[in-house]
Structure 1
Amino acid sequence: MGRLNNSVVNNNNGILQEKGYHIQAILGEGSYSKVKAAIWKKPGASNSVPVALKIINKTTAPQDFLQKFWPRERDIMGIMDHENVIKMYEVFSDEHKIFMSIERAAHGDLLEYIKLKGPLCEFDTHKLFTEMCAGVKYLHDMEVIHRDLKCENILLTADYHAKIADFGFARKLDAQDRSRTFCGSAAYAAPEILRGTPYQGPVADVWSLGVILFIMACSVMPFRDSSIRQLLRDQQTTPQFPKGKDLGPMYRKLIGKILCYDLSKRYTLTNILNDGWMVSSPKSLLKTSISATDSGIGSDRSSSSTITTT
């Protein structure tokens, strides 16, 4: 839960009040930005909306960020309109700060949820993963590559639907264009990215989806990530599932197809969407609703990393 901070709440009161924002708490902060929970009642509107307000300090933010990454994030979020992608409401600024008002997800991010509740049942894993894939397909159809998909950037709404967030590393990129930039977290990165090989943009997002899919059902990372060398070595083998974990053969097969070291044999997003596990919802495996899951984090695996924030 965010914490109240009166000194921060009082700053920029003028412009925030003028725009109809009432700050509630701080959700997170970095070296040059903060994210705050707020209630927004747009001037002239009858209803208020819960939002997350990202506030960037222009005096401390690096010029590279202000001139390159921030404009990309702003422009990309400005064109997003999909039920599984976080919506941006408006952007405004004053002399020292940039404010971005975005949709707030009531249940936080997927990583914190898994750390709190433990591995998800296969039915709920299927539901959330289907929604993530729908969001990523929308991005790719819009020629947008996220490049930082991870559990922390998948947010959960009040009714537990998945929404893709944080477009700080995203960029417009034709599917055939190649990128040379390493972005995001190494634990979620495809082998060719870790090796420094130029890669087609969608490749980065698809591999990351596979890592997230594994984590949801197993609550551990699929590969050890203590070093890039160790990570690359582990990626050359099929992920080892936790002992005693009841996972269906179709799910296991899909994981192997997505997290395949050989790019020529690896699933594309189209392959994923047409996979047997994806097109037939595993309702027979429904044990507990996602809002009632009560198991704890844990695994007897010695070969994979436990879930940590990156």
Structure 2
Amino acid sequence: MVNEAQSVFTEILARHGYAIGAEMGEGTYSKVKHCTWTKPGETPPEKKKIAIKIINKKTAPKDFLEKFLPRELEILRKVHHPNVVQTFEIITINHKVFIALEWAGKGDLLAFVRLRGSLKENDCRRIFTEMSTGIKYLHENEIVHRDLKCENVLICSNNTIKIADFGFAQLHLKPTDLSKTFCGSAAYAAPELLQGTPYIGTKADIWSMGVILYIMICSSMPFRDSNIKTLLSDQRAPLHIPSSILPSLSKELKDLLLHILSFDHNRRITMEQIFKSRWMNKK
């Protein structure tokens, strides 16, 4: 019965030009697989390497199906930006949703930093600028990501940076609207989320951007995340930068980090101020 259902999926997807390959990764209610796509009607036919996200609605809980999944699909249909992963097509077959996505040939930022170690400031600036440009576009379109982390920052074959995974994202949010749901990974979460207080999504996203920037610079996490109490204590304390990194760190970059990772969200730097900062505009 399973094989029969699988062959139905394979047959329908083949009609759309998709040939599914090996599994790349697995989420709570989804899998991501390698895929080649030949766009129907394209002359001459060109095989494109893409990723396909497969969501199984049978294994997903009610709140995911009624709240998170419809939001994600609406956002994927809406967004189109050079620094956001492109969605080519969304196909629903019975209890499965297939999302055809742009392929990021060089994997995610976490794997990149693990391989390379601490990145040079110029490389950090290029990656951070492209990432920030993608997030700025989302915020301008009333979308907050709410799960920004190195694993959701992808690197294409041409080194372009792409924001991915809108599973926790929220849309139609004005700059002063408050969110209440705790989303994402604790290690990247802003203090106001960890404290369980209503938060402004764009400000929480900016905090997560600061954690990502720190990881690129230091090749380590900025805060211990063994438990929430320790994490909040570290976030409140003066930012620790490893002694091996500190001597080579420019004052402009250190200043930017401190302004992004401000425990008090009212004093945290805005996206506009990030783009105007001295470090971002350094030649």
TM bucket (normalised to shorter chain) is over 0.9
Distance 1:263 1:182, change over 3 A: same
1:22 and 2:24 are equivalent in the alignment: no
Distance 1:124 1:11, change over 3 A: farther
Contact in 1 for aligned 2:25/2:33 (Cα 8 Å): yes
Aligned to 1:276: 278
User: Secondary structure, in 3 states, of the residue corresponding to 2:217?
Assistant: helix
Aligned to 1:262: 264
Q: CA deviation at 1:236?
A: 0.9
Q: Runs of at least 4 residues of structure 1 off by over 6 A? A: 6-9
Q: Could you tell me how far apart the structure 1 residues matched to 2:264 and 2:69 are? A: 34
TM-score by length of 2: 0.93
Q: CA deviation at 1:9?
A: 8.1
1:165 and 2:164 are equivalent in the alignment: yes
Aligned to 1:50: 49
Matches within 5 A, 1:136-285: 136-172=135-171, 173-245=173-245, 246-281=248-283
Q: Could you tell me how far apart the structure 2 residues matched to 1:29 and 1:19 are? A: 23
Aligned to 1:295: none
User: Secondary structure, in 3 states, of the residue corresponding to 1:232?
Assistant: helix
Aligned to 1:35: 32
Matches within 5 A, 1:48-197: 48-172=47-171, 173-197=173-197
Q: Could you tell me how far apart the structure 2 residues matched to 1:123 and 1:238 are? A: 25
Contact in 2 for aligned 1:69/1:169 (Cα 8 Å): yes
Distance 1:7 1:113, change over 3 A: farther
User: Secondary structure, in 3 states, of the residue corresponding to 1:159?
Assistant: coil
Contact in 1 for aligned 2:203/2:268 (Cα 8 Å): no
Q: CA deviation at 1:48?
A: 2.3
Q: Could you tell me how far apart the structure 1 residues matched to 2:25 and 2:70 are? A: 21
Q: Could you tell me how far apart the structure 2 residues matched to 1:54 and 1:61 are? A: 15
Q: Please, what is the CA RMSD of the aligned residues?
A: 1.7
Q: Could you tell me how far apart the structure 1 residues matched to 2:7 and 2:261 are? A: 48
Contact in 1 for aligned 2:17/2:40 (Cα 8 Å): yes
Q: Could you tell me how far apart the structure 2 residues matched to 1:41 and 1:27 are? A: 20
Q: Could you tell me how far apart the structure 2 residues matched to 1:98 and 1:261 are? A: 39
Contact in 1 for aligned 2:191/2:263 (Cα 8 Å): yes
Q: CA deviation at 1:11?
A: 7.0
Distance 1:265 1:99, change over 3 A: same
Distance 1:65 1:162, change over 3 A: same
User: Secondary structure, in 3 states, of the residue corresponding to 1:93?
Assistant: strand
The one-letter code sitting in structure 1 at the alignment partner of 2:37 is W
Q: CA deviation at 1:244?
A: 2.0
Q: Could you tell me how far apart the structure 2 residues matched to 1:32 and 1:160 are? A: 29
Deviations 1:213-266 (A, max 9, x none): 000011101111111000111111232111121211111111111101122322
Distance 1:115 1:7, change over 3 A: farther
Q: Could you tell me how far apart the structure 1 residues matched to 2:5 and 2:33 are? A: 10
Q: Could you tell me how far apart the structure 2 residues matched to 1:265 and 1:52 are? A: 40
User: Secondary structure, in 3 states, of the residue corresponding to 2:94?
Assistant: coil
| Relative contact order higher in (CA < 8 Å, ≥ 6 apart) | 1
Distance 1:98 1:250, change over 3 A: same
The one-letter code sitting in structure 2 at the alignment partner of 1:272 is I
% identical equivalent positions: 50
TM-score by length of 1: 0.86
